[in-house]
Structure formats: structure tokens, C-alpha cells
Amino acid sequence: MRAQAAVRREALSAWPGWPARWEMWAGAKARWITYALGCELIAVVATGAALVTGFGGPVRPVWFAVLVALGVAQAEMSRRIERLRRWMSGQTHINVTSVWYLAGVVLLPPAWVALLAVVLYTHLWVRVWRQVRTRPAHRFVASTAWAMLSCFAASSVLAVSGLHGTPLQTARGLFALCLAAAVFELVNIGLVAAGIYLYTSQRSAADLIGTWEDNAFELATLCLGGLAALALAEQPVLVLFVVAPLLLLHRYLLLKQQLQVAAVTDEKTGLLNTAGWHDSAVREHTRAQRRAGTPGGGFAVLMIDLDHFKRINDTYGHLTGDDVLAAVAVAISGSVRQGDTVGRFGGEEFVVLLPGVGRADVLGIAERVRVAVGELNVVISTGSGTVRVSGLSVSIGVARHPDTGPTLDDVLRAADAALYRAKEAGRNRVAV
């Protein structure tokens, strides 16, 4: 019996869903885990207690069912757009589902609008987010809890103040709607900003709460949510007129993100271009200055040049040369750490930003890049047959902040000088 129990425990521990195997333990800081679990516990307890006590008054099941149907239908119609937006988005993300949350805050008791958030978030996870690598399960669960708490807080304020059920066409009803939107937005911003900070240690306002433009779009979704609530309360069929502008807003947000990505992306390799990489480096330099004197407070730069690239273009043509550059970009990206930033500086030159790296680790990463490129065997199909390109090599210059100077330009000049020393010494090597 003991042997069978041991086998069952071993099989259970090997299951990907077993708590000890969750990605959260390796991908998130302990402080974020504590914060997220605390929010999730509060959300569950508050919702359960409100359901038991009937806090906020009785539910009208028809409103709950209608809002679920509308939220699911809108998510299905914009599923492809949402997936693309999630792939391209950073930490902050404008979730147009908040249209239905605000309507639920006005029309449903606190516990039921929290359950509405659970249903709609779960649907998004099943149909969209679980296929996006930037949306792991532990972040989805935390986001669900934050949405529940935001909805619960806004609806609770209306219930406690006696504004729940106020006719929305009156001045008092308009005040209730504005109050609900303000509470929902402020609570949500606070919860999400705290989560982003604890997860990434980012401190800029744009990283934590989004840009002014992001918040303007969030305000637009809340306005649509108010119109949806008014339509459902007074003339339910009019809610259909909210769906079309909501879908257009969603598509516009995708277009905006695509333009932003295109502006900082190198077309041939998919890496950041010079402008995009430099923006990331400036932000990291600012963070490094704040962390000055702390362990892991510095950063390093690798300047990488593909040796004898002109021979490849002259021998095989520029299209084959572009394919080789793309393969080298993949090799470099696969050889650095997940949080490192790889860019192309034009021609055959690449650059890597290594945040929070110690002196001893920089050379190891650079050497790993050099070996990975040397092992490439690029097979390219052309109109006249198959071309195989191998024997590639790179020269790498390494510089670290603050060892080479206090400014970002000092580090870049030092890395560039080290690169030229590597090339003068015979290429296919790393120089510091």
C-alpha cells in the first residue's frame, strides 16, 4: 500500500498542473506572489461572503445572463484582434471588456458583478490568452482577482451609498454612474500598478499606469460601459449599438500597437532597430542609476559584428545575405537571457543590452553567442537550388556600466572600441 501511495504521489507531482510545478515559482518574485495570493484570497472571501449575506440586494438573473452573453459575443468577434494585441502589448493592457464590467457594476450586486468578471476572464483565457506566451496562468489569475476587486468595490460603493437601483436617466443616476466608473478605474489602476511594480520593479508612470493616450482609451471604454448600462436599463435593444463602436475601438487599438511596433522593429530580422534598442537602453540606464551601489545594479552591452559578411552577399546575393542575417539574429536571441534586449544597428552589426548582469557573467554570455553563431548551418532554398551557408563567425566587443563610464554613450563607445580590437586581433573572438 505504501508503495502504491508513493507511486501515486510521484505521478501527481509530475503532472504539469501540480502546484509545485507552476511557472509562477520560477517566473515571479516572492513579493509579487504574496501580493497576488492576498488579492485572490480577498476576492474569493469577499465574493463568497456577499453571496451568503445577500449584500447589495437581490440579483436579477436576466441582467447577469445578458451581460455574459454580450461579453462573450464581443470577445468572440474580436478574438483574433485581442490575441494579436496581447502578443504585442507590454505590462499595461487596455481591456475593452471593462465596458461590460461597468454596466454590471450599475445593474448587479457586488458579488454578481465579481462573478461576471470571473466568467468573462475565464472565457478570454480559454479562447485567447492561454495561447499567448506573455500571458502565463499565474498572471491571468491575478488579473482576474484585480478585476473582481475593482468591480466589487465600485458596486459596493453604490450599495452602501444607496445609489444602487437609481434610475439612470435622472441626475442622481448620472452621478451614480460617474461615481461607479471613478471607483472602478481608481481601484483597478492601483491594483494593477502595484502588481506591475512588484513583478518588474518598473517605476515610471507609463510602465505602471500607461500613457495619457492609453488612459484616454480606457476612459472611452468606460463611457461605452455607461451607455451600455443606460441602454440595458431603459431600452435594452439599444445596447446593440454599443457593440459596433466597441469593435472599431478594439481594431484601432490593434492598429496603434502595430504602428508602434513597426516604428521600432528591424524589417529583415524582427529585432529592435537602432531607435527601439536605444530607447530600451536609455530606460535601463535610468534604472541602473537608481540602483547604483546595489548588487546587480549595473548593465552591460555587447557589440556584435558578423565577420566577412560582404563575401556572403558577393557570393550568394543580397537575398541570401538577408536570410543569413535573420538566422544570426535568431542565434543571438537564443543565446542570451530572457530579459536581455537584442537589436540590429544596421548592416551586419548587432547589439545586446544585458541588464542586471555581473562582471563574471558578461563574458560567459558573449562567448555563448559567439559559439552559437559559429555552429549555424543555414540552408536556403533559391530558384536555382539549395544554398548552404556555414562557417560563420562574429567578433564581439563587451563593455559594462558603470565600469566604462557613467553615461550610456560611454558604454557604447567602449563596446565599439572593444569590437574593433576583436576584429584587429583576428576576428571570431570576444574583447573587453
Residues assigned a catalytic role? 348
Q: Give the CA dihedral 113, 117, 120, 122, nearest 10 degrees.
A: -140
Instruction: Give me 140's grid cell.
Output: 491571468
Question: Would you give the DSSP letter of residue 277?
Answer: H
Closest CA to 389 of 312, 306, 326: 312
| Whole-number Cα distances in Å, 253 to 97, 110, 140, 149, 418 | 13, 30, 21, 25, 43
d(CA 351, CA 415): 9
Yes or no: say if 171 and 85 are a contact pair by the CB < 8 Å rule. Answer: no
Task: Indicate the length of the chain as a whole number.
Answer: 432
CA distance 391 to 51: 68
Cβ contact 305:421 at 8 Å:
no
Indicate the SS3 state at residue 380.
strand
- Name the amino acid, one letter, at 44: V
d(CA 7, CA 397): 52
> Three-state DSSP class for 268?
coil
**What is the distance between the alpha carbons of residues 340 and 351, in angstroms, rounded to a whole number?**
11
